[in-house]
Amino acid sequence: MKKLCFIAIIALAGCQSQQVVNYKATNLSTVGPVEINVQSFSGDVKIIVDPTVVGTVVTAMQLEDSIGEVPLAQAKMRCTTEIETGVTGQIVHIIATCDENPLNLISADIVIRANSIHGVTVATKDGDVTLLGVSGAISIQTSDGDVRVVTPLVINSAVDIENRRGNIVFRVRGESSGIIDATAIGGNASLDLRQGEATILPGSTGDHLVAKFNGGTNPITMRTVDGNIRIHVVADPVGSEPLFSTDWISW
């Protein structure tokens, strides 16, 4: 197992009320599809499949909000990476912690890029979670942010997404399959299936969707409070997404 620590590079945020500390990017020597496991104390996580990347590249920023004056630029969070050799390949662990955050003013912004990602686990809070181009099993926990999973690859593995005070968007290729159990307390849950076959099962309501599509048996479980769940099974999940930000590789 290989473990690396990030080195902080102080960057002033000008006249903004948020201080930013950039951490030096870490380039990991990984081969083949990697599994990504992120455990963050707070903040956004973005995981992107980028065929131009060699190995796995992890970048991190520390964001600190202010009460009154802009805080001094000091590295207060710790971000480490580990490479574990699993049964089916390498697992990249990214762990962000912060022991000096009594008012919850500090958060992390973590971006992971690799040329092939199969399997993702993310646990954070107060942040968005974005997965672009991944495959395999997916497990996400966050709050007070939106979850967005968009991939042109087939998803026929287990999916478990839990959010609070935020939306969930799940866009996958038409050959994907599964049994959906989606609950949006204080919102609504919907399935937009443009390719394949689906059956809406008994017990479905506006905020609780139970459905089986394309003969799948893999569980797709989604929960949110004060947010909506939108599941799209389409021929072109990336190109057909409205107002999609193309900050990653086009497929």
Contacts of 248 (CB under 8 A, 6+ apart): 48, 49, 50, 132, 133
Q: Are residues 222 and 179 in the same domain?
A: yes
Which DSSP symbol is given to 164? Answer: S
Pairing between strand 129-132 and 147-150? parallel
What is the DSSP annotation of 96-158?
A: EEES--TTS-EEEEEEEEES-EEEEEEE-SSS-EEEES-EEEEEEE-SSS-EEEE-SS---S-
Separation between Cα atoms, residue 223 and residue 162, nearest integer Å:
5
Please tell me the predicted confidence (pLDDT) of residue 69. Answer: 72
Asked if pLDDT for residue 247 goes beyond 50, the answer is no
What value does the CA radius of gyration of the chain take, rounded to a whole number of Å? 19
**Chosen domain end from 88, 115, 142:** 115
Q: Is residue 122 part of a domain?
A: no
Q: What is the pLDDT of residue 88?
A: 87
Range(s) of the domain holding residue 195 = 128-238
Residue 47 lies in a domain: no
Structure confidence at residue 13 (pLDDT) = 41
Question: How does pLDDT run across 80-104, given as a tens digit for each residue?
Answer: 999 999 888 999 999 999 998 999 9
* pLDDT surpasses 60 at 19: yes
Q: Same domain for 206 and 164?
A: yes
Residue 25 lies in a domain: yes
DSSP string, 169-228: EEEEETT--EEEEEEEETS-EEEEE-SS-EEEPTT--SSEEEEEETT--SEEEEEEESS-
pLDDT at 198 over 60: yes
Q: Tell whether 139 and 109 lie within a shared domain.
A: no
Domain edge (last residue) among 89, 115, 141: 115
Structure-block tokens of residue 41: 């104390």
Q: Are residues 20 and 101 in the same domain?
A: yes
The 10s digit of each residue's pLDDT in 151-193 is 999 999 999 999 999 999 999 999 999 999 999 999 999 999 9
Q: Which of 64, 92, 115 is the last residue of a domain?
A: 115
- The total of structural domains in the chain comes to 2
Please tell me whether residues 146 and 182 are part of one structural domain: yes
Shared-domain flag, residues 195 and 154 = yes
Give a yes or no: residue 135 inside a domain. Answer: yes
Residue 242 has pLDDT above 70, yes or no: no
CB 79 within 8 A of CB 124: no
Domain check: are 18 and 85 in the same one? yes
Within a domain: 11: yes
**Cα distance between residue 41 and residue 123, in whole Å:** 8
Does the structure show a pLDDT above 80 at 62? yes
**Do 82 and 138 fall within a single domain?**
no
Q: 90: closest CA among 55, 39, 58?
A: 55
pTM (2 decimals)? 0.89
Mean pLDDT, residues 33-50 taken together? 98
Residue 2 has pLDDT above 70, yes or no: no
